[in-house]
Amino acid sequence: ERGGSVSAIYDYAGAHPDDEAAQKVLVPQGYPAIKLKKFFVTDDPWLSEPETTRSKLPPSFSATIYKGMNHDLNYLSDEDAERHFAEDGKNEDRIYSSLPLVIKSWLREELIKMGGEESTIAILEAYLAALNRGIVNTSIEK
């Protein structure tokens, strides 16, 4: 028998709370946005291009940043990092370039609709500002 809060959330939302589809169900029901691990996306036009016509890797992809900001991948060669991103990382909201990270548009819109969520947006934006500075530092260090 499954138990625990993640299991209850999984049962309610139909997926793990880190899954974007589940987040879209949970946030309007009052699940705290601040608990979302992947509330951001890279501000990259490549992500909006159809997968059938876009390049395998975004022009802004950096193996150094990808490995440095995703510590579970830092053992990979640059070639393996590129392969990992092309096969999996692009679908996992992993950090891969020095382009800025922004709050996912659906989440920002939901927080605004909920009203009184300016402080949550400010907290998330402050976190992203620090993370963006860290990305820049990672690209400079290597």
Question: The tokens of 17 are what?
Answer: 């709370």
Q: Is the pLDDT of residue 2 over 60?
A: no
| pLDDT range class, residue 5, cuts 50, 70, 90 | low
Q: Give the bridge partners for 85, in sequence order.
A: none
Q: To the nearest whole number, what is the mean pLDDT of the chain?
A: 86
Location of structure tokens 């501000």: 43
pTM for the model: 0.75
Helix (H) or strand (E) holding 40: strand 40-42
Q: State residue 41 phi and psi, 5-degree precision.
A: -145, 155
Contact 92, 103 (CB under 8 A): no
